[in-house]
Amino acid sequence: MTGSPPLSGATGGVALVASGSARGTQQISNSQLGQRVDTSDEWIRTRTGIGNRCICGPDQSLADLSHQAGTQALSMAGWDADSLDLVLLATSTPDDLFGTAPKVQALLGARNAVAFDLTAACSGFLFALVTAAQFLRTGAMRRVLVIGADQLSRWVDWDDRRTCVLFGDGAGAVALEATSADRDGLVGFALRSDGARGNCLNLAQHNERQTLVDSASHQVGGYQPISMNGQEVYKFAVREVPAILKQLLEATDTAPESLDWLLLHQANQRILDAVADRFNLPHAKVLSNLAHYGNTSAATIPLMLDEAVRDGRIQPGHRIASSGFGAGLSWGAALFHWQGPS
């Protein structure tokens, strides 16, 4: 699915006006993880760029993280929660399998908003951003809060050194507003899925069969911890992310050197560097906070965005190319301008 130019029939545009973020309250360093599994700070930093991760405490939920990030974004935008039309929560780790967005809506006091979850693993925020933009461009909605949040610490096998060193908990939020087509901040996007390759990264259900009545049985079970073929996922990322970004930049007639920032899903510093090298972009233009947070799945892109907005690196009018990728397999790219609050 490629969205540049936007859907036919669309009349308006979308402005990215504010951001917020939250992290798990407990910081765990690589050396501390070495107390639990056979690993080292040197191994983790060299292979991934990760130094610390933030993990939710026993009393912190996904709804709490999302609420905190969303509140910050509303505050930056200067909006009342009442004015929101939609709270869209990208997550693969809901507090409730029926959906956590309505809980977040209630915590925010966004009484007039519809709220629902969207699941696309580490591509979730990007997919949610594009989804929300459609409601805004068609004029169906005026104000939307898109939140990417994940609490993967619930689903990591903390005794599996191949995966446990990679992940952390966090949330990021972006406030989006309808605007005129000539001020559209979402220049273009492209989204992809390939379920045929999905088994290299899973958080799958494992069921047993139990007899229900004489002639019927049912399934009982639960979810198993994350399982991953790291090398396959790495190869997927360094092949597909540059390809989809190239396609997007060509479709939008954008020269790589005209980008202010490359904002990629924060999975591995080596992936970030490889993508930057493919476009001859200086590494200084590649936003990275992996060292502090690790991979927070759907949260990485808005969490990084918020950090760079708040410390002044991202300025109004900056042109940002973003790409999310991960389980599904799913991947996507978006080219947008940061507007900031008016």
Alpha-carbon distance of 216 to 226, in angstroms, equals: 31
Q: Is 155 exposed, middle or buried (0-12, 13-18, 19+ CB in 10 A)?
A: middle
d(CA 231, CA 236): 9
Q: According to CB under 6 A, which one of 19, 21, 48, 153 is a site residue for ligand COA?
A: 48
Are the beta carbons of 167 and 152 closer than 8 angstroms?
yes
User: Between residue 290 and residue 329, which ones bind ligand COA under the rule CB under 6 A?
Assistant: 295, 326
In the chain, the amino acid numbered 287 is: L
> Which residue is catalytic, options 30, 52, 56, 265?
265
Residue 218 appears among annotated catalytic residues: no
Count of residues binding ligand COA (CB under 6 A)? 19
Are β-strands 169-180 and 12-23 bridged in parallel, bridged antiparallel, or unpaired? antiparallel
267 binds ligand COA (CB under 6 A): yes
CA 327 to CA 91: how far, in whole Å? 12
Among 4, 21, 39, 323, binds ligand COA (CB under 6 A): 39
330, 120 contact by CB (below 8 A): yes
Answer yes or no: 265 catalytic. Answer: yes
Tokens linked to 233: 């996922």
Residue selected from 25, 26, 31, 43 as contacting ligand COA according to rule CB under 6 A: 43
Among positions 151, 268, 323, 330, the unique one binding ligand COA when judged by CB under 6 A: 268
Minimum CB–partner distance for residue 302 and ligand COA (Å):
15
Smallest separation, CB 30 to ligand COA (Å): 9
| Choice from 230, 243, 246, 274 touching ligand COA (CB under 6 A) | 230
Task: Confirm or reject binding of residue 330 to ligand COA (CB under 6 A).
Answer: no
Residues 77-96 that bind ligand COA (CB under 6 A): none
Range 187-226, binding ligand COA (CB under 6 A): none
Report if residue 51 touches ligand COA, rule: CB under 6 A.
no
Of 71, 63, 62, nearest in space to 19 by CA: 71
Nearest distance, CB of residue 90 and ligand COA, angstroms? 14
Instruction: Tell me which stretch binds ligand COA (CB under 6 A): 38-46, 65-73, 130-138, 278-286.
Output: 38-46
Query: Of the residues 54, 268, 295, 337, which is catalytic?
Result: 295
Query: Which pair of tokens denotes residue 198?
Result: 């999905």
Asked, as a colleague might, if the bond just before 5 is cis with ω within 30 of 0, I would say yes
Tokens of 223: 């979810």
Using only C-alpha atoms, what is the Rg of the chain? Answer: 20
State the Cα–Cα distance between residues 90 and 74, nearest whole angstrom. 17
Which amino acid appears at position 64 of this protein?
A: D
Nearest-CB residue for ligand COA: 230
The one catalytic residue among 122, 164, 268, 337: 122
Binders of ligand COA in range 155-194 (CB under 6 A): 161-162, 165-166
Scanning the chain, the segments in alpha helix (DSSP H) are: 30-33, 41-48, 62-77, 101-108, 124-137, 161-164, 230-251, 269-278, 290-293, 300-310
What minimum distance in Å lies between the beta carbon of 331 and ligand COA? 9
202 is catalytic: no
Q: Is 126 in the site for ligand COA (CB under 6 A)?
A: no
Q: Which residues are catalytic?
A: 122, 265, 295
Chain residues binding ligand COA by CB under 6 A are 39, 43-44, 47-48, 122, 161-162, 165-166, 228, 230-231, 233-234, 267-268, 295, 326
